Amino acid sequence: MSLLPSRILHPLLDLAQIQHGFFTRHGGVSQDLYGSLNLGLGSKDDQDAVMENRRRVASSFGRPENYLLSLYQVHSAIALKVNEPFTGERPEADGLVTARAGIVLSALSADCAPILFCDPQSRVVGSCHAGWKGALGGVIEATLKAMAQQGAKTDRIRAVIGPCIQQASYEVSADYEATFVKEDPESKAFFIQANDLDKRMFDLPGYCLMRLKRAGCAETASTGHDTCADAAQFYSNRRAVKTGEPDYGRLISCIMIRA
């Protein structure tokens, strides 16, 4: 297996001044159920292995490990503006924004939607972790607002949703749908009836795309990969629960302004 971390690129973000990647589970040193590119500092994996995986991802951007910024993600609608590496504990938030070259922003995920953003003209980038709670609560809009505060224009921002759980794998309760629709009536379009009459199938990336477009993003896309259905390429919380695995790895998605 290659020692280089394996990443998925998207044409919307494939720009001369931007480097990005939605990383798969391949190209790291973690073993067993974490094999092999687990970036989950909060997982039960060997922390030395996780740190080596972080070094490999950072190195693929030409940066030292401390310039790879990761949050203590809490399913919030908080986005932080950053200009230098963190010191001490990781901040609790779910979005990151910078206008400084060489800072690698990241979002960790294992079914939730990682979203990468850029305004090529103003050279501002962002990342966010959007699970159902964060998406409904406004993490996408918070990230866009933080980008605007750094000089970006929403109608120039490109945003791409990376590998996440797709509708065919995301069964939820009718009460879950009701919570969404009460909070955001437009969300009703992203639920369909499941085989079980008491269940629904939720389109998380579709809902996130709608929120991005509603906020005024210039161009939006999704890679379309299903983390839950593709165990060979991705980690998945839901799949781990279904199969009775005691833990699961975390994927990483990153974006950086080139110097």
Q: What's 127's domain CATH number?
A: 3.60.140.10
Residue 191 lies in a domain: no
Residue 176 lies in a domain: no
Report how far residue 163's alpha carbon sits from residue 108's, in angstroms, rounded to the nearest whole number: 11
Report how far residue 229's alpha carbon sits from residue 165's, in angstroms, rounded to the nearest whole number: 8
Residue 141 lies in a domain: yes
Report how far residue 106's alpha carbon sits from residue 92's, in angstroms, rounded to the nearest whole number: 14
* 3-state secondary structure (DSSP) of residue 58: helix
Residue 31 lies in a domain: yes
Residue 44 lies in a domain: yes
Domain range enclosing 146: 7-163+222-257
Predicted confidence at residue 160, as pLDDT, reads 99
Q: Are 65 and 55 in contact (CB under 8 A)?
A: yes
pLDDT, tens digit (0-9, with 9 covering 90-100), for 32-67: 999 999 999 999 999 999 999 999 999 999 999 999
Predicted confidence at residue 2, as pLDDT, reads 52
Sign of the C-alpha dihedral, residues 217, 221, 227, 232? Answer: negative
Q: The whole model's pTM is what?
A: 0.98
- Number of domains within the chain: 1
Residue 50 lies in a domain: yes
pLDDT, tens digit (0-9, with 9 covering 90-100), for 208-242: 999 999 999 999 999 999 999 999 999 999 999 99
Residue 177 lies in a domain: no
